[in-house]
Chains A and B, each alone.
Chain A
Amino acid sequence: MKPLKTLGYVLALPVLLVLLWWASTLGAVNFFVPTPATLVAKFGEVWFGPRFFSDVLPSLGRLLVGVVAAIIIGVVGGVLIGSVKWLRALLEPTLEFFRAIPPPVLVPVLILLMGITDSMKVAVIISGCVWPVLLNTIEGVRAVDGVLSDSAHTYGIDGWARVRYLVLPSASPQIMAGVRQSLSLGLILMVISEMFASSSGLGFTIVQFQRSFAIPEMWSGIVVLGLLGVAMSFIFQWAERNILRWYHGQKEVENAA
């Protein structure tokens, strides 16, 4: 009963929206708005063929590499900057400058510097995704509880052990909040990096369809992006539940008290 009810809640709004869409496209024929049936047909035709390997997988690969690299850079950099006072004083104003630059304006620059390559697209993704992780990690590292830190210190838990057993777990709620923001940014930047100059990928394909007036195909690409976002969000939630089990448990106990 319970899983069914949950599923009902999850599907209710999408079903309603599709019904509305179906009803509103019943009589009128608008060139730019396909009917649900056309879209579903095109969706299968376009994306479950050679395009899956030539466009979807390369895009996903670049997204994955970019986001993972951004998380690693953000966490390592954040732990360093958050722990070392002089490093923070030295870097923070500069970081504010770089953070303020919208990553899309870097695309032409990176094309000039790196050429139209996969590395360029990954670099665009990293340049945007690194900030939420980096800044949240710095905050998380700085907020390590003083008593907990003293406890670790009195038991000789210093250096790398301190990072591993105290700093990283303690900052993990903030790190995960940063990762969540990075994922949605990553999807946007993946598309943008492929729109400017590219020969493959989801962003490239959608722009191609639009320019050749293949309207239902274009819409189906947008649906792919939306579904991708949903899938990423589910994977993230699953990972977060496992990594932050202790954190949510502790919050629950505190709220109940």
Chain B
Amino acid sequence: MQPDATPSPSGKTLPEAMLSVRGLKKVYQTDGGDIEAVRNLTFDLRAGELACLVGPSGSGKTTLLKCISGLMAPTEGEVLLDGKRVSGPPKKMAVVFQEYGRSLFPWMRVRENVELPLKNQGVAKAERDRLVDEALEAVGLAHVPRSYPWQLSGGMQQRVAIARAIAYQPEVLLMDEPFAAVDAQTRADLEDLIRTIWKKFGVTVLFVTHDIDESVYLGERVIILSSSPTVVQEDIVIDLPVDRDQLETRSLPRFTELRHHVYEQIQLAKKGHRPAAAGTVSAATTQAAPASRTDVA
């Protein structure tokens, strides 16, 4: 491990990059041998970008997110937030987890849940109230501040988690398959909510999903991951109109094309296809046990 150094010695980061992942590698040490979850990931997110990260199941999406959010230290490589190396959960970052039922405090009311991170930071009461009101309003939950999370539906609980994240005023918002556990209709509403919030608050969003349609519909950009051990398979720009609509956008020929393309790439990834460059670079550095690299047929 390198010692904390800010700004990074590697210095290759683009000046406007808000979030920068450089040569990230994560190997889990287990009793059964080392498992290489992420091999070599490098990508940048510009400030204000909304990017989706999509990959086959087991492609190390959650591992990557944990490294980015500072919950886990990478084995090699580094994550830079606004030019500073991430070594623990950074103040400018908020994370929304998939398990909404387990990410809100059940002993606190909705409002207290959204308020707690601000209170903990010592934000003054008046300012806190303003931020909480604004966040609850933005997610359409201004009417339930005194409910407990478990009294709400799954979709509403996830809205509370999103409100808590935006009240925290992060520069980067990470979302780990946030809508994987809600029903399809709620999901469509929440997707539109994310687009609205992104435009309103100008936050940089990295949205991890396994849903190809969702990634194309939501993102301005889609980063496709290979299967484990993970590298970036492809990084594509989604050139759909900024104002998106569940019916209109999804019936555009361009949407179908992009969707096809991402789908094909994921299929290739599942078959074990890897971009040539990444494969040769990492072949020398891999320490993974052979058993962990069996490709999914």
Contact = CB atoms under 8 A, between A and B. Distances in A.
B105 A166 contact: yes
Contacts of A247: 106-107
B105 A147 contact: no
Contact of B105 (A150, A154, A165, A254): A165
Nearest to B95: A154
Contacts of A246: 106-108, 148, 150
Interface string B79-111: 000000000010101110101001111111000
A151 B103 contact: yes
B97 A156 contact: no
B185 interface: no
Given A246-B148, A249-B150, A153 B105 contact: no
A169 interface: yes
Contacts of B6: none
B117 interface: yes
For the side of the interface on B, what is the size category?
20 to 34
Given A169-B107, A246-B107, A151 B95 contact: yes
Contacts of A249: 148, 150-151
A149 B202 CA distance: 28
Nearest to B150: A250
Given A166-B105, A246-B107, A154 B94 contact: yes
Contacts of B108: 165, 246
Contacts of B168: 155
Taking each of A148, A161, A172, which has the highest tally of chain B beta carbons within 10 Å of its own beta carbon?
A148
Contact of B120 (A150, A156, A172): A156
Contact of B102 (A147, A153, A155, A254): A147
A156 B89 contact: yes
The 3 closest A-B pairs by CB, nearest first: A155-B117, A147-B102, A169-B107
Contacts of A172: 107
Given A147-B97, A155-B120, A250 B106 contact: yes
A166 B120 CA distance: 12
Contacts of A156: 89, 91, 117, 120-121
15 contacts: A147-B99, A147-B102, A148-B103, A154-B89, A156-B91, A156-B117, A156-B120, A157-B117, A157-B120, A165-B108, A165-B116, A246-B150, A250-B106, A250-B148, A254-B150
Interface in A136-170: 145, 147-148, 150-151, 153-157, 161, 165-166, 169-170
B69 interface: yes
Interface of A: 145, 147-148, 150-151, 153-157, 161, 165-166, 169-170, 172, 246-247, 249-250, 253-254
B161 to A, nearest CB: 8
Nearest to B70: A154
A157 B95 contact: no
Contacts of B94: 154-155
B14 interface: no
The listed residue with most B CB atoms (<10 A of its CB), out of A154, A170, A249, A250, is: A154
Given A151-B95, A161-B120, A165-B108, 12 more contacts: A147-B97, A148-B102, A148-B103, A148-B105, A150-B71, A154-B70, A154-B95, A156-B89, A156-B120, A157-B117, A166-B105, A169-B107
- Majority secondary structure of chain A interface residues (helix, strand, loop or mixed): helix
Contact of B93 (A154, A165, A250): A154
Nearest to A170: B107
Contacts of B89: 153-156
A250 B102 CA distance: 12
Contact of A147 (B69, B91, B103, B106): B103
Contacts of B66: 150
Contacts of B105: 148, 165-166, 169
B150 A253 contact: yes
A154 B69 contact: yes
A156 B99 CA distance: 19
A9 B133 CA distance: 48
A122 to B, nearest CB: 32
A156 B94 CA distance: 10
A170 B104 CA distance: 12
Nearest to B72: A150
Contacts of A151: 95, 97, 103-104
Contacts of A148: 102-103, 105
